[in-house]
Amino acid sequence: MLNIHHCAQAGFEAARQLLGRPAPHPQARLHGHSFVSRLRAHAAPGWALCPGTEVEQLQQHLEAVTAALDHRLLNDCLPEPDDAALARWLQQRLQHDGLQGAQVGLQSTPRSGCTLDAGGGAHIWRRYRFEAAHQLPRVPAGHKCGRMHGHGFEALLHVRADGGEAAAGVADAIERAWAPLQQRLHRQCLNDIPGLENPTSEVLSAWLWQQLVPALPALSRVTVYETASCGARYDGQRYRIWKDLTLDSARRLRQAPAEHPLAALYGHTYTLRLHLGGELDAVQGWTLDFGDVKRLFDPIFKALDHQPLHELAERAALPDCDCASLAGWILQQGRRELAALERVDLYQTPGCGAQVRLP
């Protein structure tokens, strides 16, 4: 039995002033953001109007709650509307009898926000970019990554915050901890840095963890984006890599009533994310080669891309071609060639879709 969660995303515009910040801090001044709220939950059977429409209804639920914050001064809603407090405000109002294991995220800028884990704990996150060169010296002859090349790397740092006063200072602590690393990494050759002689995404994520955890003992995970579509995550114990692909496909929901908009033939540019876990190869310094992931998955990709997904669902005897059904099928099919595949995310629009993982 697979674990299935549906996901939704909604935006809102609002102003705020963080009164707990000292006066010189820019967030102590009245300012505004284009916020993004995210909700991830398991929809119980019967919660949606009809099977397959869970994503659309979850998004409507999220939009209805965030509408109370849109074009508002957030200090009128919360005494100190920092990211963690806003996420908790949303979580309280998004609870629903038909939603299980609901988790909430709040993004205040493209490089900052807060996520609440399954236990309700807040994780403040910050995203940083650095431009660097690297080559992988241990790859087979002729491998493109064996040549010196470069990336606009991004690092995403999550740090636990226990609430209120603790959360307010976590972001500043992350900024202080990252500043010297930015100097060491930006516009440098990673191979020249001790410990990064073989700078795969996995090695880089673990190296960053080791550099940061003395100053950030509550660090919960480090994510490295080698490109916009692939990267690695390290949480102090396990590595996970992912690879993103896009699908331009058509669908109609067979279980939707005839008059329902989702019963019509239409299409999406889907984002498909494959999550793979495993031990680090002692020689190569990676869990899997991203190129091998793409090559081994290619037959399944071709069955999905530029295809009518409702016809695939019929051939595969799936309940329908909604994101959850398709992601479950992709996970089961993908594990035949990629045993390390642990989870599949399929988004029909940004932030809206389904996540399916092994029990």
The whole-number pLDDT of residue 163 equals: 59
SS3 303: helix
Judge whether 135 and 196 are in contact, CB under 8 Å: no
**DSSP bridge pairs for 113:** 107, 125
pLDDT in tens, the chain (359 residues): 899 999 999 999 999 999 888 878 888 899 999 999 999 999 998 899 889 999 999 999 999 999 999 999 999 999 999 999 999 999 999 988 899 989 999 999 999 999 998 888 999 999 999 999 999 999 999 999 999 999 999 999 999 997 555 777 899 999 999 999 999 999 999 999 999 999 999 999 999 999 999 999 999 999 999 999 999 999 999 999 999 999 999 999 999 998 999 999 999 999 999 999 999 999 999 999 999 999 999 999 999 999 999 999 999 999 999 999 999 999 999 999 999 999 999 999 999 999 999 98
Residue identified by tokens 């540019």 is: 269
Q: Closest Cα to residue 107, out of 92, 89, 128, 86?
A: 86
Q: What is the pLDDT of residue 189?
A: 98
Q: Which two structure tokens, joined as six digits, stand for 260?
A: 């329902």
CA–CA distance, 331 with 345 (Å, rounded to integer): 9
Q: What is the pLDDT of residue 164?
A: 53
Pair 96, 106: CB distance under 8 Å: no
Q: Which residues of 281-300 are buried (b: 16+ CB within 10 A; e: fewer)?
A: eeebbbbbbbeebeebbeeb
- This prediction has a pTM of 0.94
Q: Which pLDDT score is estimated for 30?
A: 94
136 neighbors 200 (Cβ within 8 angstroms): yes
Question: How far apart are alpha carbons 83 and 102 in whole angstroms?
Answer: 18
With 0-12 CB in 10 A as exposed, 13-18 as middle and 19+ as buried, what is 30?
A: exposed
